[in-house]
Amino acid sequence: MAPRWRRLRRRCLGNMDIEDNVGKDLKALEDALNSGADLEAVDPVELKSLWGIVRKVGRGLPGQQIAIGVDGIVAASPTHREPSAREMMTLMARATVLSALLDRGVLNEFEENGELNDVVFRAAATMAVNACDLGQATLQTQLAKLSAEEAEKLNSELAGQLTIDAKFLAAIRAARE
């Protein structure tokens, strides 16, 4: 998992000096994830706000990667507070897990009129998520891009090891209480 976070950091930072505050913030997050720590919890309202803008922009550009500037995220945020680089990466990582689960139909029962229930955002914002969970969520999305034979082989090799779906559903049950 470490190389993925390094690539992500390089893609986000480019040639930015790692000694600046943003670089230090992201390096600390990378180090924490690589050491097995969980992502920090985020405000469910902030996650829902980010989710809304990402989904809205994404609907207009199906099948394309999108980038949303911090100014756009701040404008859509109910608090209008600019998140730190670490908070932004944490929000994005949690949104990535959420997106992967939704894309695979894991969260279909929690959707009403095309919108996710608030309990989903409470669970996504606060549940324990580590680098392994993030990797599992994105791996399963990548399986859909493989041939049926390749996906079946990889699924059989990983049987019993992919736990993010059950973990997320348990977090939703806990968030309901």
- CB under 8 Å to 84, separation ≥6 — which residues? 25
In the chain, the N- to C-terminal Cα span, in Å, equals 33
Q: Quote the pLDDT of residue 177.
A: 78
Output the average pLDDT for the chain: 78
Band (pLDDT 50/70/90 cuts) for residue 126 is very high
Q: Domain locations in the chain?
A: 2-176
**In which band, very low, low, confident or very high, does the pLDDT at 58 lie, cut at 50, 70 and 90?**
low
Q: Tell me the C-alpha distance between 52 and 134, whole Å.
A: 20
Mean pLDDT throughout 120-146?
Answer: 86
Amino acid in position 151:
A
pLDDT value, residue 150: 83
- pTM of the full predicted structure? 0.75
Mark out the alpha helices in the chain (DSSP H runs).
2-13, 21-34, 44-60, 70-76, 85-103, 118-126, 131-143, 148-158, 164-176
Q: What is the pLDDT of residue 17?
A: 44
Contact 82, 95 (CB under 8 A): no
